[in-house]
Amino acid sequence: MALLFFGNADRVAEWLPELRRAMPDRDIRVWPDAGDLSEIRYSLGFAPPEGVLASLPNLRAIFSTGAGVDGTLRDPTVPADVPIVRMVEQGLTEGMTEYVVMHVLAWHRDLWTYAGMQAAGEWRKLDQTLARDRRVGVMGLGVLGEDAARMLAALRFDVAGWSRTAKEIPGVACFAGEEGLGPFLARTEILVCLLPLTAQTRGIMDRGLLSRLPRGAVLVNVARGQHLVEEDLVALLDEGHLAGATLDVFREEPLPEAHPFWRHPKVRTTPHIASITLAPSASREVARQIARFEAGEPLENVVDRARGY
Ligand code: NDP
Ligand code: OXD
């Protein structure tokens, strides 16, 4: 009943001791040293190499180290009858909310403008807006989006959210579906993207969608780089329709050296660290799920293959 872990050398060094601590009796193997493939019951990784999961004849569950499973699902050979479990873990949620709050506050309180003024030796006071008068919109009201929206609302921001199906979240104006998108965008000054990457959401943030934000709006993309048409964002920033962007995720990662985002004056980048799955707590979560599964209980946080998330 072995578990096969996928990751580069750094990830293996970080995760292996934690997996062994969380599941001391489990046979834990690291790809490509998988041994007898018929002994593998579980896999764990962010983007296992194409074809490998299909080569495991007795695989019972595929665990993702990420909340997003686009890395697993991009392999068309992943067996359709094996459940994929995405990572839902309190530390991952809290980390994301911290990042979102940090960047929303930074744009809201003109942190980057003041940083530029300090660099230029310029002493000048900008107008101040209170959070209650700042309209923030969160696209994706799932585990991460809802937590971030609630925390922003607790900080008194005027918060709205948009999701596929209708929601009710105290303190958050909820919009849903195609018909909800227009009014949601029209009232959003700071847009946070926390959608999963699916066939429906790939390229969703293009010129058409971003132009529906009010002039001077800001984007915080912490979901996936493929949600954004990067050239459209650069054009809208250069034209002045958008005032800035925080980008944690990119179409190509690592961000290529010559990419304009590195040096664009209105863009702040981080290297896909908005929230990092922490090996100790995530290993305990995988151990908990396997224990449930082997006790005959259903797995939690299973991906709906038809929806893609
Ligand atoms: P969930 O699956 O819990 O939530 C997804 C949300 O998106 C749901 O509210 C869902 O709507 C909504 N949604 C999906 N498709 C559509 C659509 N077509 N139109 C409108 N709404 C849609 O995901 P999580 O909150 O756990 O994670 C979100 C994403 O965050 C991950 O997929 C991953 O890509 C990214 N992420 C990034 C990290 C980073 O460090 N940068 C770290 C962790 C995650 P409904 O509720 O109606 O189903
Ligand atoms: C995730 C990520 O999906 O790290 O969890 O991006």
Q: C-alpha angle with apex 127: 126 to 133, nearest 5 degrees? A: 140
Q: How far apart are the first and last CA of the chain?
A: 27
Q: How confident is the model at residue 304 (pLDDT cuts 50, 70, 90)?
A: very high
* DSSP conformation letters of 104-164: HHHHHTTHHHHHHHHHTT---PPP---GGG-EEEEE--SHHHHHHHHHHHHTT-EEEEEES
* Residue 259 bears catalytic tag: no
What is the structure's pLDDT at 286? Answer: 98
Position 189 confidence tier, pLDDT thresholds 50, 70, 90: very high
Q: Decide: 197 in ligand 2 pocket, CB within 6 A.
A: no
Q: How confident is the model at residue 99 (pLDDT cuts 50, 70, 90)?
A: very high
Which pLDDT score is estimated for 256? Answer: 98
Mutate-to-test residue for ligand 2 from 89, 92, 197, highest number of ligand atoms within 8 A of CB: 92
Q: Which helix (H) or strand (E) holds 187?
A: none
Give residue 47's pLDDT.
Answer: 97
- Give the per-residue pLDDT at 246: 99
* pLDDT for 41: 98
The mean pLDDT value for 250-256 works out to 98
pLDDT score of 184: 99
140 lines ligand 1 (CB under 6 A): yes
Q: Work out the average pLDDT over 104-117.
A: 98
Instruction: Give me ligand 2 centre to Cα 28, in Å.
Output: 22
Q: What percent of the chain has pLDDT over 90?
A: 100
pLDDT number for residue 59? 98
233 lines ligand 1 (CB under 6 A): no
Task: Based on the residue annotation, tell me whether 224 is a catalytic residue of this protein.
Answer: yes
What the block records as the tokens of 34 is 């998988």
Catalytic site residue from 224, 227, 241, 288: 224
What stretch of H or E contains 50? Answer: none
The mean pLDDT of the chain is: 98
What pLDDT score was predicted for residue 175?
Answer: 99
Of 241, 251, 272, 284, the active-site residue reads 272
Write the pLDDT tens digit of every residue in 224-242: 999 999 999 999 999 999 9
Task: Pick from 270, 277, 285, 286 the residue to mutate for probing ligand 2's pocket: most ligand atoms within 8 Å of its CB.
Answer: 277
Average pLDDT over residues 156-170: 98
From the CA of 272, the nearest ligand is: 1
Determine if the pTM surpasses 0.75.
yes
CB 180 near ligand 2, within 6 Å: no
- pLDDT value for 220: 99
The finding on whether 67 has its CB within 6 A of some atom of ligand 2 is yes
Mean pLDDT, rounded, for 37-42? 98
Per-residue confidence at 299, pLDDT binned at 50, 70, 90? Answer: very high
- pLDDT at position 154, please? 98
**What single DSSP character describes residue 214?**
P
Mean pLDDT over 24-42 rounds to 98
What confidence tier does 308 reach under pLDDT thresholds 50, 70, 90?
very high
Average pLDDT over residues 25-53: 98
pLDDT > 70 in the chain, percent = 100
- pLDDT, one tens digit per residue, over 78-91 is 999 999 999 999 99
